[in-house]
Structure 1
Amino acid sequence: MNVRNIWLMIAVGLGIMLNPLNSSMISIAIARLQQVYLLDVTAVSWIIFSFYIASAVAQPVMGKCSDLFGRRKIFLTGLVVVFVSSMLAPLSPSFSWLIVFRIIQSVGTSMMVAVGMAIVKIHVTEKQAAALSVLAMFLSGAAAVGPFIGGVLIHWWDWPSIFLVNIPFVIASFIFAWKTIPKEGALKSNHGDMSIRKWFLLIDAPGILLFTIALVTLLMSLLSVNSTGHLSTWHLMAGGVGLIALVTFIRHELKTPSPFIPLRVFAKHPEMTWVNVQFMLVNTLFYALFFGIPSYLQQVRHLNEVHTGIIMLTLGLCSLISSPLAGRWIDRSGTRPALIVSAVLMTLGSIMIVVLDKASPVVNIILPLAVFGISNGLNSVGMQAALFKSTPEEMIGVASGIFNTSRYLGTILSSLLIGIVMGDTFSFRGFQTLGIILTVLAASLIMMTLRRQRIDKGTECL
């Protein structure tokens, strides 16, 4: 790998790491935000939901825009958006304004994540699994240091500092990206003189609106299901609106010539569908642990932010260590063995959560974090490699965007799961229930992985 490609991967890595960095820091800030704004678990969860809903919408849009208008432009613009939102978030006069700036931050990070992998796919042509493992190290490294950095910052300078810490990473990524990401050639068609109506049709604004309405209203409805299972009339109505919007969205995407999510493409490439479904389930499991353990440590074990951050380092460090090893393994043996081992590890980690109690030694908390961390390292490289294997090169930008939408849908489902299980207050009993649910989901993941691998073998034999 030449020197220019190394610096290109550093530029991309510094940009895409902003997403897991902010995700991991906010997990430590949840308890503090509850105190500052006097919120219950469901209400404060919207600081997570808003970020990932915006990401789920923005990822495919930015992937499509990158295919049409240039990946370099989208990446650099995303850095500017993150810079502005990170400067303004600490000035938020209320929790609602903080949500607004988190959404803007989400759009900015989505612009980089949607195109970062595609930039490496196109410009780094040798040992791509190893190159992807380097990017996975940036992602895992951010997840590793995020809880600790967030804990220290919140402990000494309160929650606004977790936004300002983004600034040096943004500046460094912008400088390296400006110098190393090649400029695209002339576009095949001129999009600059389009009318607003044609622009809306090109990016499928009706589809984006229907998808957002469906996602938000269904979340509102499902969040009303607390541990007693009660539903209000208002949330039942919201659920009905969400289902109608979802059905309308599917019908619209099948008919429109420029769909937000190309459902017909998934029908032509079923392996892409399986990869995205499996990736969504993997992230539901991972982020349920990612957001659940800090709350368990702070609200059940009564640890402070710094000690919580130190313990959470286990998760990211194990991901960081396992990612390059996964890259070499996958380059040599393909994705099948790594994904099967990952599913088994997630099942074992979920069982370890079930057997925790209020007085478990710290090592019993570290073990499931380590197991999930190793599994995450395998998945970060394995799932991305499986996606590239199943995706035509001409639509790699859109596919990368949809792939990351699957990641964020999994994250949303994990937060939703925690909200439903816990109700208004995080409790130890609810945490054990969460562990049982994760065990069932992880066992389902093993069966899904084995089934998909059998399908792959059958396809290769044809």
Structure 2
Amino acid sequence: MNARSWWLMISVGLGILLNPLNSSMVSVAIPRLQHQFQLDYTAVSWIIFSFYIASAVAQPVMGKASDLFGRRTIFLTGLVIAFVASILAPLSPGFGWLIVFRIVQSIGTSMVVAVGMAIVRVHITEKQATALSVLSMFTSGAAAIGPFFGGVLIHLWGWSSIFFINVPFVTASFVLAWRTIPKDQPPASPANKLSVRQWMNRMDVPGILLFTVGLIALLAQLLSAKSSGHVSLFNVIAGLAGIVLLTVFVRHELSAKSPFIPLRTFASYPALTWVNLQFMLVNLLFYSVFFGLPSYLQLVRHVSEFHTGILMLSLGLCSLIISPLAGRWIDRSGPRPAMIISAILMTLGSAWLVILNPSSPVISVCLALAAFGISNGLNNVAMQAALFNSSPKDIIGVSSGLFSTSRYFGTILSSLLIGIVMGNQFSFEGFQVLGIILTIVALSLVFMSRRRMDSAQQL
């Protein structure tokens, strides 16, 4: 690759790391935000919850939008939105405004992620595998060091620093992207030549609205009912409305010409459905620990943000170290053995959380984190390989989009699970219950992986 290609790759890498960095840094900030705004754990968990809901919707939407407006335009616009949100979020007069700016930040970073990989694939024509592996290091590295980075920043300068730290990354990415990303070619059907109806059909605006409003209505009322300790008539009505809207969404997507989420793809390729289901459960497990353990350390064991970040670094480092080794193993043996080992490690790690107590030595916490870190490193490669094996080549782009959506569903469910189990106060007893639930989910993954491996061998 020439120098310009390297600079283009760095500009994209600095942009796409913003999403995983911001989603992971906040895990250490939950107790501080809870104290700052005088909120219970369920309420403050919306700082996590809102980010992933917005990302789950925004990334496939912005991928579609790039066909109308161009990838370079979407990438640069996303950086500007992320910059503005990062400046305004620390100035929020209340927690509600902080959630609003957090959602705006998620939309901005999702715009960057949605087109970043495509920009590299289109404009770097040689050694693409090397380029994509470097970008993967940006994203996985950001997620790995996020809790440590966040812990150090919060310890030194308070929770607002995890927003301000985005400014140098956004600025550097914007300057480099402006200079290195080639201008977009005029699309075959420019947005300004489409009628309002054509534009809405192309973007599937009704599907986007049904999915977003239905999901928020359903999940918000589940959290609200748990937080208040009782189920009100309003909770029931809003929850039922969410279910109805999601049902209508499914019917709409099955008949739409350009669906927001092409559900027929799942019906046509059952193996692809199972891969996405397993990926969702994997992320449910991983992010339940990723977000739950920092709160356990700080609220139950009274560990500082700084030392919590250091402990969480063991999870990220194990994941980073194992990923390249997993790639070589999976090249030789296929993804199934790695998926089984990963599920077993998650089972052991979840069971280990159940037997932890406030006086357990620190090394016990590190062992649980290491188990989940190694399993995450295996899954990063194994699940992607399983996706490619299960998906026909002619729909690999759609499959990759659905794969990302499955990741966000898993993270959303992890936030919901923690909120329901913990309720108003994060407690040691609640953490044990969480560990039991995660152990059951991990065991189901072991059986799913084993069954699919046996089926593959029979075929």
| TM-score, normalisation: structure 2 | 0.92
SS of the residue corresponding to residue 451 of structure 2 reads helix
Comparing 418-427 and 170-179, the one that deviates more: 170-179
Which residue number in structure 1 is paired with residue 268 of structure 2? 268
Query: How far has the Cα of 1:362 moved from its partner?
Result: 0.3
Query: How far has the Cα of 1:247 moved from its partner?
Result: 0.8
Distance 1:190 1:285 in 2: 43
Structure 1: unaligned runs, 5 residues or longer: none
Structure 2 counterpart of 1:264, one-letter code: R
* 1:374-428 CA distance string (max 9 Å, x none): 1112222232333344445665554433322211111111011111111110000
Within 5 A, what are the aligned runs for 1:22-61? 22-61=22-61
SS of the residue corresponding to residue 435 of structure 1 reads helix
Distance 2:347 2:123 in 1: 37
Q: Does 1:197 align with 2:204?
A: no
Distance 1:63 1:225 in 2: 35
Query: How far has the Cα of 1:41 moved from its partner?
Result: 0.9
Comparing 68-77 and 258-267, the one that deviates more: 68-77
Distance 1:396 1:185, change over 3 A: farther
Comparing 338-347 and 265-274, the one that deviates more: 265-274
* C-alpha contact 1:342 1:378 (8 A) present in aligned 2: yes
* C-alpha contact 1:11 1:174 (8 A) present in aligned 2: yes
SS of the residue corresponding to residue 306 of structure 1 reads helix
Query: How far has the Cα of 1:372 moved from its partner?
Result: 0.8
Distance 2:391 2:124 in 1: 17
* 1:211-267 CA distance string (max 9 Å, x none): 112111111232245499842222111211111111111111111111111111222
Query: How far has the Cα of 1:136 moved from its partner?
Result: 3.4
Q: Does 1:159 align with 2:154?
A: no
* C-alpha contact 2:225 2:235 (8 A) present in aligned 1: no
Within 5 A, what are the aligned runs for 1:200-211? 200-211=200-211
* C-alpha contact 1:319 1:376 (8 A) present in aligned 2: yes
Distance 1:125 1:314 in 2: 36
Distance 1:396 1:70, change over 3 A: farther
Distance 2:391 2:185 in 1: 23
Which residue number in structure 1 is paired with residue 16 of structure 2? 16
Which residue number in structure 1 is paired with residue 314 of structure 2? 314
Which residue number in structure 2 is paired with residue 255 of structure 1? 255
Query: How far has the Cα of 1:345 moved from its partner?
Result: 1.4
Which residue number in structure 1 is paired with residue 445 of structure 2? 445
Which residue number in structure 2 is paired with residue 422 of structure 1? 422
Distance 1:308 1:117, change over 3 A: same
* C-alpha contact 1:130 1:331 (8 A) present in aligned 2: no
Which residue number in structure 1 is paired with residue 287 of structure 2? 287
* C-alpha contact 1:296 1:428 (8 A) present in aligned 2: yes
Structure 2: unaligned runs, 5 residues or longer: none
Which residue number in structure 2 is paired with residue 373 of structure 1? 373
* 1:319-371 CA distance string (max 9 Å, x none): 12122222333344432332222222111111111110110000000111111
How many pairs were matched up? 459
Query: How far has the Cα of 1:132 moved from its partner?
Result: 4.8
- CA-atom RMSD, angstroms? 2.5
Q: Percent identity?
A: 68
Which residue number in structure 2 is paired with residue 300 of structure 1? 300
Query: How far has the Cα of 1:186 moved from its partner?
Result: 4.5
Comparing 224-233 and 154-163, the one that deviates more: 224-233
Comparing 379-388 and 87-96, the one that deviates more: 379-388
Which residue number in structure 2 is paired with residue 136 of structure 1? 136
* C-alpha contact 1:14 1:138 (8 A) present in aligned 2: yes
Structure 1 counterpart of 2:264, one-letter code: R
Structure 2 counterpart of 1:84, one-letter code: V
Within 5 A, what are the aligned runs for 1:30-429? 30-67=30-67, 69-120=69-120, 132-181=132-181, 185-224=185-224, 226=226, 230-391=230-391, 396-429=396-429
* 1:134-159 CA distance string (max 9 Å, x none): 43332232123222221222222211
Distance 1:178 1:321, change over 3 A: farther
Comparing 11-20 and 36-45, the one that deviates more: 11-20
Distance 1:282 1:27 in 2: 18
Distance 2:136 2:405 in 1: 17
* C-alpha contact 1:129 1:331 (8 A) present in aligned 2: no
Query: How far has the Cα of 1:122 moved from its partner?
Result: 5.3
Query: How far has the Cα of 1:6 moved from its partner?
Result: 4.6
* C-alpha contact 1:155 1:306 (8 A) present in aligned 2: yes
Distance 2:382 2:129 in 1: 8
* 1:5-25 CA distance string (max 9 Å, x none): 554443333222211211121
| TM-score, normalisation: structure 1 | 0.91
Distance 1:401 1:92, change over 3 A: farther
Distance 1:68 1:455 in 2: 43
* C-alpha contact 2:351 2:435 (8 A) present in aligned 1: yes
Comparing 97-106 and 327-336, the one that deviates more: 327-336
Structure 2 counterpart of 1:98, one-letter code: L
